[in-house]
Structure 1
Amino acid sequence: MPEPQDGAPLRVVIAEDHYLVREGTRRLLEDTGEVDVLAAVGTATELLDAVGRLLPDVVIADIRMPPGHHTEGITAAHAIRAAHPGIGVVVLSQHANENYAFDLFRRGTDGLAYLLKERIGEVDELLRALREVTAGRSVVDPRIVEVLIGSHARAADAPLSHLTRRELDVLRQMAEGKTNRAIADSLMLSESTIEKHVNSTFAKLGLAEIPQLHRRVSAVLAYLRHTPAGPGT
């Protein structure tokens, strides 16, 4: 599927079983003038049908949808990415649940985002996530990153326990999809200093650079996927 042309609205399909949330999300996105909502549906089955017919640039899907209200959104995300690798998927959750993150990213991070539903009201952040996954990159909500890092940093033998406080700060912001320049601005450090922290973090975690993956998300998830997840919340 061809990538959207510069300046062209992103073609989006929304899947959310709550009518008011679904239509509110549609209105917020369309009001930006940067999004064309092709369809807004209420079930995972309807989502897969709409994607197959309309071939959008990107999908927004609730994790829990009919018929089971379990992880239908994640299952649909995997199916969409397998059948249409050019379509990005942003999944939304009411809670910062590490088990959902493991399930979503277990096959790779390309073109996937995991955001909390509260981000719907932060239109600029939601648009950024849509653009990132459309470009084949990844986004993880900062609060989910905190849950993932906190859960595993508590283990005495976890590689994360060997990171300095500053390296953990940089890792959190890498996982949010920030560039070195953006991290430098946020932490009020030079870009060269951030680059040193990034390299040190990768070395301590034993992470090799993997082509075609968004390293700043994979840096966290590539390690976490090799560590047993704790119980969900």
Structure 2
Amino acid sequence: MRIVIAEDLLLLRDGMVRLLTDTGHTVVAAVGDAAGLITAVGEHQPDLSIVDVRLPPGFRDEGLRAALKLRAADPDTRVLIVSQYVERAYAAELLADGRGGVGYLLKDRVTDLDEFLDAVERVAAGGTAMDPEVVRQLFTRSTRNHGVDGLTPRERQVLDLMAQGLSNSAICAALVLAPVSVEKHISSIFGKLDLPPADDAHRRVRAVLAYLNS
């Protein structure tokens, strides 16, 4: 996989380069600011960009804004955002177009090799990867959503794992449920969140978005 990294902290940037290179990926560019990210993606057309939310010069949301600009120009652009803190509005904005190929991880998660690489693979493949702590805080702040508050405890567990980006089979393993049970729970979630059947491969993303925007 060909990857661009945009991270201003040199040690973290170099650490990600070594980690990804050692696991068989190719880091085509590693930059320290948003302008460098835009240039690198335009030049290399990577399979995935790993981007810090806060980049020079303002260290506010330059990385996120650059990522959104890239996705606006090409909706198939895959972006994995990393952040020091849970920033709910940023997670919602990433998912606002209802497409996959996005992720949001806390930087602490980068040190968990298996979890980080799993997120990299999922986002590059067009899925989603949300940090469990991000999901936990989003659920805590979403109890007033008219659709979400109608979910059963088990449906909330399933939606929690969907938000993290897990597949049906992975949800089955995590909750020790049969595939047919997981499928029924997901169907019920879609119904309660008013997401009727359609030729739309991103209903899972829109189900997550229903509580991100609550």
2-side partners of 1:186 and 1:77: how far apart?
Answer: 31
TM-score of the superposed pair, with normalisation by structure 2: 0.92
Partner residue of 2:194?
A: 206
**How many Å separate the matches in 2 of 1:161 and 1:84?**
35
CA RMSD of aligned residues (A): 1.8
Tell me what 1:143 maps to: 133
Q: Post-superposition shift, 1:79?
A: 1.5
- Contact 1:176/1:217 (8 A) holds in 2: no
**Per-residue deviation, 1:223:** 4.5
Cα separation, partners in 2 of 1:107 and 1:201, compared to 1, 3 Å: closer
SS at match of 1:206: coil
> Counterparts of 1:120 and 1:180 in 2: how far apart (Å)?
24
CA distance in 2, matches of 1:174, 1:61: 22
CA contact (8 A) 2:100 2:205 kept: no
- 1:28 counterpart (19, 24, 44): 19
SS of the residue corresponding to residue 60 of structure 2 reads: coil
Shift of 1:138: 1.9
Instruction: Name the residue aligned to 2:150.
Output: 162
**Distance change in 2, residues 1:211/1:144 (3 Å):** farther
Q: Distance in 2 between matches of 1:52 and 1:212?
A: 29
Shift of 1:109: 3.4
Residue aligned with 2:120, SS: helix
Q: Which of residues 87, 90, 105 is equivalent to 1:100? A: 90
Q: Indicate conservation of the 8 Å contact 1:14/1:39, yes or no.
A: yes
Contact 1:137–1:213 under 8 Å retained in 2: no
The answer for the alignment partner of 1:133 in structure 2 is: 123
- Deviation of the 1:27 alpha carbon: 0.8
Quote the Cα distance in structure 2 between the aligned partners of 1:29 and 1:164: 39
How many residue pairs align between the two structures? 214
Q: Give the Cα separation in 2 of the matches to 1:17 and 1:213.
A: 35
Cα 1:61–1:191 shift into 2, 3 Å? same
Q: What residue identity is the alignment partner of 2:156?
A: L
**Distance in 2 separating the partners of 1:66 and 1:213:** 36
Gaps in structure 1 of 5+ consecutive residues:
1-9, 228-233
* Contact 1:57 1:86 (C-alpha < 8 Å) held by counterparts: no
User: Distance between the aligned counterparts of 2:26 and 2:150, measured in 1?
Assistant: 46
Give me the whole-angstrom Cα distance separating, in 1, the residues matched to 2:122 and 2:173.
20
Q: Does 1:19 align with 2:10?
A: yes
Contact 2:53 2:64 in 1 (8 A): yes
Partner residue, 2:204: 216
Change (3 A) 1:114 1:62: same
Q: How far does residue 209 in structure 1 lie from its aligned partner after superposition?
A: 4.3
Q: What is the Cα deviation at residue 222 of structure 1?
A: 3.6
In 2, Cα distance between the equivalents of 1:136 and 1:210? 19
Unaligned runs of 5+ in 2: none
Q: Does 1:186 align with 2:174?
A: yes
* 2:105 alignment partner, one of 115, 118, 131: 115
Return the offset for 1:218: 2.5
